[in-house]
Structure formats: C-alpha cells, structure tokens
Chains A and B, each alone.
Chain A
Amino acid sequence: MYAKLALRNARKSMKDYLIYIVTLMICVGLFYSFMSISSRYYVSSLPVEYDLKLLQNLMRYPVIGITAVLIFLVKYVNNYILRRKQKEFAIQTLLGMEQKSVAFLFFVETLIMGLISIVIGIILGAFFSQVLTSNIMSFFEEEYHMYFSLFPDTVLITVIGFCAVFILIGFLNIRKIRKMKIVDMLRANKELQDDMKKEFLMPFMILVMTAISINKVMDGLLLYKQYKDVMILGSRGFMDVVSFYGNLILPLFFAGTVAMYLILCIIKRKLLSIQKLIIILTGFTILIIAFALMIVAGHPLMDRTTTNGAYMYVMIYLVFFMFAVFYSLSTLMQIFKTKSKRWKYKGNTLFIVGQINARLTSNTRTMSILAGTILLAITTFIVDPILSGWAMGYLKERAVYDIQIATEGNSKTTLNTLPDGDFTYVEETLEEMGIVLKDSLKVEFYYLNDKEFVEGSFEQPIMAISLSDYNHLRAMAGSTQIDLKENEFSLQWHYSVTEEEIEKYLKENKTITINNENLVQANEIRHREKLGEAIYSFSSDTSVVIIIPDILCKSLLIGKCNYYGNAMSKMSYETAQEINAALNQKIEQISKDHQYYTELRMRTKQRNEGISVALLTKLLLFYGGIVLFVISFTVLSLHQLADSSDFKHRFQIIKKMGVSDTSINGIILSQMGIWFGLPILFAGISAIITGRFYMKWTEVIINTLIGSKEFYDALFKMMMIIIVLFVSYFVSTWVLFKKNIELY
C-alpha cells in the first residue's frame, strides 16, 4: 500500500524531482561511459599492434575516485528535495501517518527516482561511451563506426555503486526525518543556506594572508637588493621602479591594515565587524596580484626562480581574492545603494540588487567555493590539451623506428671498453623470432677529437655523425636527404632546444675543427627531423648532433653506437613484448662484460605505452573537469530554483505594481546572469591569468611537440565544451525558473 502511495507521490512531484533525476542521470551517464572503457567487454577494432590493457588497468581506479566527488552532488540535490518536501511531510504527519512511515515513503520515492535515473543514465552513458571511443580511436589514428552495446560488468558496477550511494543517503535521510519536529517541517523550507552560525574561515584566511604578505615583503626586499643596480639602469627604468615599490609596499599595507584592525579591537575591547576590513583587503589583493603579475610577465634580467615565486604569490592571492570578493560583495552593494542615488532609482536595479543580495548574504561561502571549483575545472581543461598533446607529440618524436638500440659510454667506461658496435645478437634474436627486417642500420657517433673522451666522466660531449648515416636514418624515418659541402657541418637538434639556445650555440661555434680541418656552418643548420631520441647523448648539456662529411669520420674515436631496424610487416603488441624481453635478457648478459649503457626501444611498445599515457591523461583530466563543471553548475542552478515560492511571490507583487512582462523577463535574465556570471567571471579571469602562465611555461612544448595551431584548436574545442555546458545549464535553469514562477 505504501509502494502505491510512494509511486503516486513520485508522479505528483515529478517537477520537483526533475532536477534530481537529470542530475543523477548525468552523474550515472558520465560514470558509465568512462568506466565502460575499462570493461572486459570493451571491444575496439584496434589492429594487432595495439593493446588497450594498459589503459584499461590504469583507468579503473582513478575513474572511481573522481566519481566519489559526485556523491557530494547527489547528497546536495537530495537535501534540496528534502527541503522542498518538508511541508508535505508535515501534512502527512498531521494527518496521522507515523513519522517512521513518512520517512520510509520518502526513501522509497527517492529510490524509485534514483533507479529511473540509473536506467536512463546507463543508456545515455552507452551512447557517450561510443563518442569517447571514436575519440580514442582517433588517437590511434583508426576509423571507428559507432554502435550501441551495453557491457554487463560496467552495468553491474554502475548499478551497485549508485544504489549503494542512494541507500546510504536514504538511510541518513530516514534518520533525519524521524527526528524532525513538525513545527520545524512547516517552517524549514526556506533558503538553501550555509549555516552562518560563527564564521571562522574568513578571519583565519585573513591571518594566513597577513603572514604571507609579511613574507612577500621580505621577498620584495631581497628582490630589491638583488636587482637594484641593473634595473635602475635598464631602459624600462620607470616601470621597474613602480613595480618594485608596488610589490614591496602593497603587501606591507595589507599586513598593516590587519594590524591596525587588531589594535582597534584591543582598544575598543570588542570584536569589530570585519566587513569593511575585507573590502579594503580585497582592494589590496587585486593590486598585489596586478603587481606580482608584472614580475611574472618577466624582465629579461630576472631568473626563473623569481618569476615562478611571483607566480606562486599570484595563485595564493587569487584564491584569497575569490573568497574575499564574495564576502565583500553584499557589503559593497549596501554601500552602493546608499551612495549612488542615481543608479539605485533607475529601472529595476533596486529589485535586482535586492534579489541578489538576499541570496548572497546566506551563500557567500558556497559562492566562493563554487568560483574556486570552476577555476579548477577550467584549469583542468586548459592543462588537458597541453599534457595529452605533450605526451602524443613526444611519442611522435621518439617512436620512429621499429627497433632502436643505443649504446653509449658511461663513467665506468675506459678507452678499451667503449661501445664496440656489435649488434649480431639482435639479428640472431630477430631471426629466431621470425621477424624479417626491411631495413637496418648501424650508426656510429664520434668524439670530435680523442681528448673529448674523459675517463670516469659522467658527462658526454656533443658527438658527430657521418652524413651518409644521417641520411640513411632520415630515409628510414621516411624523410628527404640533405647535402653537405666538404668543408661544412650541419646540426640536428632535439625538439626541446629553444631558438635562443640554438642561436647561442651557433654564435659560439662558428667553425669546428676536426683533424686540423676547419668546417663552417652549412646554410641549413637547424634540422629538427624526428629521428628518435637515441641519437643524442644521454648525458650531455645540449641535445644536438653534429653532421660531418664521411671522409672525416675515418680516424675519429667512436663514443656511441646505435642500431636501427624496421620490420617488413607490423609487429603485434605481443610479439613486441616477447622480442623486448628476449633482447633485454641478452643485453644484460653483454653489459656484464662491457662497461657502457645499452638502451632498447621498440616502436610498438613505445606507441602503446605513449598513447595509453596520453589517453589516460586526456580522459581523466576531461572527466575530472566535467565532473567539477557539473557539480558547480548544478549547485548554481539549484540556488536559483530553490525557494521558487518566494520568488514567485515577489514577481507576482511587482507584476501587480505594473512591471511589464518584458521587464520581468529582463529582471530574470539579469538576476540569473549575475548569479551564474559572477563566479564564472572571477574564475574565468583567474583562469586566463593562470592559463597564460602554463602556456608560457610550456611554450617550447606547445610550439614543437604539439604545434601551436593544433594546441589552440584543441584548447578552442575544450572552451566550446565549457560554453555548451554552461549555456545548456543556463537555459534549462531559465526555463525551469520561468515555469516555477509562472504568474497567475
């Protein structure tokens, strides 16, 4: 009989539950789709040389971990529903139903809704899983046709996991409802608010920031000492002076203001309101951030430590700003209302400010945390293409040949135990395994003169390669040949070497001398062909190889010897593993007698592992970012939709007073725009500041490994996802809001 009642109740309050279902649906769908990738049944039409096991194993637990964050959201939405239904509980109780049964009824109701959302969520997740898969396939550069299928193990873990969460939360609710007093039920469907009992967070943060500010003053003094002379002479003299004093004085003001407040409190023997204090501190914070950014932006004379240190300060002050700004906002609006008569009495400003203010005063902390969460989410979305692009680009850089073996002297190597270039074991092993090589090459690298070999040294000098070997390597990697005149040398650079470093090297090495023969720089001297990393010495300062004419090599000392091989047909992942194991075994035997390094790289393995890591980074960051967005947007949306009866009442009043429908629409839009916009604005500005820094920091990687166009395309895609997500949340909240307050 209760089941029937619960079902009827559920149907009746469908509108209330809509948000609950949609939120849960999204959570379930997201979880299912990301979890499905690690399913046993996950079949992808990948060719033999790939194997997803690694990715699947790495994915599973992080996905579950990230999803745990979603429980917070489920609980939050559940609380929202609970609050909305309290009046109903009161009526049921007054009509004579036992409170125990009321609680149970609610439990069954939410469980039904939960089950519905699990079912829809899984179907949604199955579709989304296909979209993900086609993205994964594009990482492997494979075509993919979507199809629909459900994986039993993923379905099982989704159902069990979410049911467990529902039941847990349900039991907590049952306890809560059973303990409630009827009066409280009747009264308590007001505001979704933080408990504003005693606010400790902000005073605590202020004290911490004061300490940090004092620290910053110290740093400022050091910085001043360090750069004083050079800077004053510099061309940007004036700005530098401003920047220096700003960075010194502003944190001092910050700490000073707090000190003054404390002194005032002591004199007056009571705690004064911190509202005005926070406004002043917020102002200082903005200025401090701006001035610290001037250091971050850098000066040719400043070193990395200085700029990075300044960046840390920017981040810390940004976090404080995010909290302080929402604390001071309602006070600021109050001041604005008393000071600016002209704006106050214009149009519907008064009403909108009232609406926002009423919400803000009871939700400041939530708003700050939301802004922080959104910042984290946007940052995740900026970092995602950097990291995954990095991993992919790096892969392309090094996985160029099916087999690469590098041998190179180390600190134990003597003149007699330098790499001997004996790779017969490789060919033997390959033959045993039935691998036919299409092409293979042994490449020798030479010390420019015998003196460059220093016994016992940890460091290796830059070595040379003969033109013909270099061209052969290029051919094997599928690229064109280069020419070199008899008296010229050229250079092959590692991707990570910056243009400045190249410039510096070229300036210092206009010519090189080999066996009394002088070589000059060739016209084309900036080769950055992707030839794997084995050609560069493991332990040299600059990753560069010198290309010299063949005849000069004859008499040179060999310091490093590599083997390259390309197979006739593609190697499957399993075969690659076997060969890898067999070769490594042999290498171990050999290195017992020979005192040099040997490194083995196999393309199939490199690609598998590289792509798996890139994908893992991409998927997990994406998942994390989406989860954070969904959480913050849902909470923002609930803030607007909660207490719709209060909102409805207010809009009814102003409509009767003669505010036109178009004005009311405008009011709703600006109210929601401000509510959604503020945290996103603050988070967005902060994200731009921090994002700029990450990009500057990884500039070389973006330009060489990812390609700046590819990177900005990927970044643009991520930003589009944010915008689409935001717009859909905004629009659906707007529609629901208008439905909620539907007048007359």
Chain B
Amino acid sequence: MKREVLKIDHIQKYYGNKNNITKAIDDISFSVYEGEFIGVMGASGSGKTTLLNVISTIDTVSAGHIYLGGQDITEIDDRKLAQFRRENLGFIFQEFNLLDTLTLEENISYALTINKVPAAEIPGKVKHIADKLGINEILNKYPGEVSGGQKQRCACARAIVNKPNVIMADEPTGALDSKSAQMLMETLISMNEELAATILMVTHDAFSASYAKRILFLKDGKIFNEIIRGDKSRKQFFGEILDVMTLLGGDLRDVR
C-alpha cells in the first residue's frame, strides 16, 4: 500500500449567518495516496473550490480534520501556515496565476526563492523542469507574451519545482481551448507519471477529468459517487464519467 499523503476526515464548511446558512461542504471524508491523480467533479456551486481552499489552508474548516503528511493542518498555528503551504503544496489555478510582472523563468525561480533554495541551485532546477515541460524556449518572455497553454504549463512547472507533497489544480483547463487543454492534461499526466507528483484536480469538465486515475463526484457539498479508472482506456473512462454525470442530474450540461 502506498503512503497516505492526505486524509480528509469528516470536514464541514458553512458560509453565512444564523438565518441563512450555506453548507458548502457537508461532511466529506476521503484519502489521497502518494502518486495518485485524483479528479474532483461537480456542478458549479457544488463546493469544489471550497474543498480545495480548505485543504490548501487558504480557508478554514467549520468542523472536521485534514491530515497532510500526518500533520493535522486544521490545528496549525496561523503564523506557520504560510511556511506549511510553501513547503507542502503546489498550485495551478483556472485564471492564469502567473505574476505578470515577472518573466516565466522568474515566476518559477520565485517559487524556489521563497522556499529558501540556495541561489546557486536555482537556475539548474528551473532549467531541468522547463526542459521536462517543454517551455525552455520561452523562459525569458513575460506571461503577456505567451499563449494560455504555455502559461498554464509554466504554472505547472512552478507548482512542481519545489517537489510538494500534493499539487492542487482548480479548473486548470477552464480558460483553455480544447487543443491547449489536451496538451496541459498530458503535461499533468507526465508530471504524475514521470515526476511522481501527487495531484488533486478540481474540474467540471469531463474530458479533463478523464485523465485522472480516480474521480470523486460532489453534489451539494457531499460526495455523491466515486469511480476508478483502473485498466480502462481513457475513452471508456470518459464514457463512464458522462454516465455518472447524467445520474448527477441536469445541471451539468457543459461537457465537451
């Protein structure tokens, strides 16, 4: 059995006041193992982003516990949170989350710098990861000068360069055309398979989700279903996902 990297234990998250409570997350539990590639699917408003936010310590849970690498992150001192985040987590988000004031190379280096990697090692590490993800040619450009897909690949490079325990991706293909989306998903797969990155990806897009090894379906803040790819081909898996989505109900029409 692989090491358990992340354990979600009966977490809940409420928004609002006494009169008007939204249960964004309503008692969710699951585990993520080392080297896994998990997809979380659900309609808009089903609580995906909230789930990601509480795991990434950007938001706090209302109840329950989250263990990352054995440590209960719901109990971590506020002052240590930032350090915890930069040492354990990598992020890829829907909006292109690169710093527009820095070149791609600097964006990746900056992630290493804030992790206090010695300056001498930084150029080498950046080059290594850029080679892997095929963005070597454009390292000296600014985000404004490259395509959306290239930006997302740079975001991937930045997320993985610190070798985090888990990489969190929130709708990474959300703003991409289908060709770029496919290329990005292949990048993620190679990160997962070749660089042994553990990935937790949130999406409402069945095509992107079909690249994952295991999928959790959320509905109204609860886990509604779970499917595993196993030895199935990606096409078969894609079909299976669509079936579950039909089951989930009509509010998930925007599939590709």
Contacts and interface: CB of A to CB of B under 8 A. Distances in A.
B86 A344 contact: no
A659 B58 CA distance: 12
A342 B119 CA distance: 6
A426 to B, nearest CB: 80
Given A342-B119, A357-B101, A650-B99, A350 B82 contact: no
Contacts of A658: 82-87, 89, 114-115
A354 B113 CA distance: 14
A350 B102 contact: yes
A346 B109 CA distance: 10
A156 to B, nearest CB: 50
Most buried by B among A337, A658, A660, A744: A658
Contacts of A504: none
A354 B58 contact: no
A657 interface: yes
Interface in B100-154: 100-102, 106, 109-115, 117, 119-120, 122-123
Given A650-B100, A653-B99, A744-B58, A660 B111 contact: no
Contacts of A349: 113
A358 interface: yes
Contact of A358 (B91, B98, B101, B117): B101
A349 B85 CA distance: 20
Nearest to B116: A347
A657 B102 contact: no
Most buried by B among A337, A351, A653: A653
Contact of A345 (B87, B99, B109): B109
B88 to A, nearest CB: 9
A646 B86 contact: no
B225 interface: no
B114 to A, nearest CB: 6
B208 interface: no
Most buried by A among B59, B83, B113: B113
Interface residues of A, number: 29
Nearest to A650: B99
B102 A659 contact: no
A345 B119 contact: yes
A657 B101 contact: no
Contact of B101 (A344, A345, A650, A659): A650
A660 B82 contact: yes
Contacts of A649: 95
B126 to A, nearest CB: 10
Contact of B111 (A347, A655, A657, A661): A657
Given A342-B119, A345-B122, A347-B113, A656 B58 contact: yes
A355 interface: yes
Most buried by B among A355, A646, A654: A654
Contact of A351 (B85, B98, B110, B115): B110
A341 interface: yes
A351 B82 contact: no
B50 interface: no
Interface string A733-744: 000000000001
Interface residues of B, number: 35
A728 interface: no
A439 B160 CA distance: 97
B56 interface: yes
A646 B99 CA distance: 10
Interface in A542-585: none
Given A344-B119, A351-B110, A661-B82, A656 B99 contact: no
B102 A656 contact: no
Interface in B50-105: 56, 58-59, 79, 81-87, 89, 91, 93, 95, 97-102
B243 to A, nearest CB: 35
A348 interface: yes
A663 interface: yes
Nearest to B168: A656
Contacts of B112: 345
Contacts of B98: 653
Interface of B: 56, 58-59, 79, 81-87, 89, 91, 93, 95, 97-102, 106, 109-115, 117, 119-120, 122-123, 158
Given A345-B112, A657-B114, 14 more contacts: A341-B119, A341-B122, A346-B113, A346-B119, A350-B109, A354-B99, A358-B101, A649-B95, A653-B98, A656-B58, A658-B83, A658-B89, A663-B114, A744-B59
28 contacts: A341-B119, A344-B119, A345-B113, A345-B122, A346-B113, A346-B119, A348-B114, A349-B113, A350-B110, A350-B113, A351-B102, A354-B99, A354-B101, A354-B106, A355-B101, A646-B100, A650-B100, A653-B97, A653-B98, A654-B110, A656-B56, A656-B58, A656-B91, A657-B114, A657-B158, A658-B83, A659-B86, A660-B81
